[in-house]
């Protein structure tokens, strides 16, 4: 069985093009009328930032209740509908999730239009892109936390939260 360890790797310049390829494929699943935004977010969207090699994509859905209708098409594309992580206002699909795959490659986060998480994801990405010192501090934190929480994704994610909130609160 494949592992699902947290590992930070050196920045891969193919991440943006891989994200764009996936967005093109996702646009065929979620027709233009069903979403208002689809963007590459997360650490792999920040040039030069070492990261977990997982492409994160956020989708703003015009009708969040229609997401479940797309599960079969997403599964055909290799995604697992992450049932345990669902909230009434957030859906998550994971591509490559062991034991269904060799390792996570993509996370697709779906929110209703206007959800504050969409703005926060994009704001955090943009602030890291604009400030190499801030991006380096985040990278260092990620390496430290990956060593500490190698087999605990929830712990790893929770431990990053304070840093992320501080960055989001920074005035541009």
Domains and CATH numbers, the chain: 15-169 (3.30.460.10)
- Render the burial of 62-84: b for 16+ CB within 10 Å, e for the rest: eebeebeebeeebeebebbbeee
- What pLDDT, in 10s, does the model give residues 68-122? 899 999 999 999 998 765 567 889 999 998 888 888 999 999 999 999 999 999 9
pLDDT band at 150 (very low <50, low <70, confident <90, very high): very high
- The mean pLDDT of the chain is 92
Global pTM?
0.93
Read off φ and ψ for residue 6, nearest 5 degrees. -85, 125
- What pLDDT, in 10s, does the model give residues 16-26? 999 999 999 99
- For residue 145, the model assigns a pLDDT of 97
Q: Which of 28-32, 137-141, 160-164 has the lowest mean pLDDT?
A: 28-32
The two tokens of residue 30 are 């979620």
- For residue 1, the model assigns a pLDDT of 41
């Amino acid at each position: 069985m494949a592992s699902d360890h947290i590992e930070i790797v050196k920045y891969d310049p193919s991440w943006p093009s891989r994200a764009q390829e996936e967005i093109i494929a996702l646009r065929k699943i979620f027709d233009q009328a069903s979403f208002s935004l689809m963007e590459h977010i997360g650490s792999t969207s920040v040039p030069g930032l070492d990261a977990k090699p997982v492409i994160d994509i956020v989708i703003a859905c015009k009708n969040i209740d229609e997401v479940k209708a797309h599960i079969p098409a997403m599964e055909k594309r290799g995604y697992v509908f992450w049932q345990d992580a669902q909230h009434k206002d957030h859906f998550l699909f994971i591509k490559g999730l062991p034991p269904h795959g060799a390792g996570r490659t993509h996370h697709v986060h779906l929110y209703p239009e206007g959800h504050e998480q969409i703005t926060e994801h994009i704001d955090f990405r943009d602030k890291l892109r604009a400030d190499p010192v801030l991006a380096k501090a985040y990278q260092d934190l990620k390496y430290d936390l990956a060593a500490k929480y190698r087999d605990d994704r929830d712990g790893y994610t929770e431990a990053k939260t304070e840093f992320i909130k501080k960055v989001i609160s920074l005035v541009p």
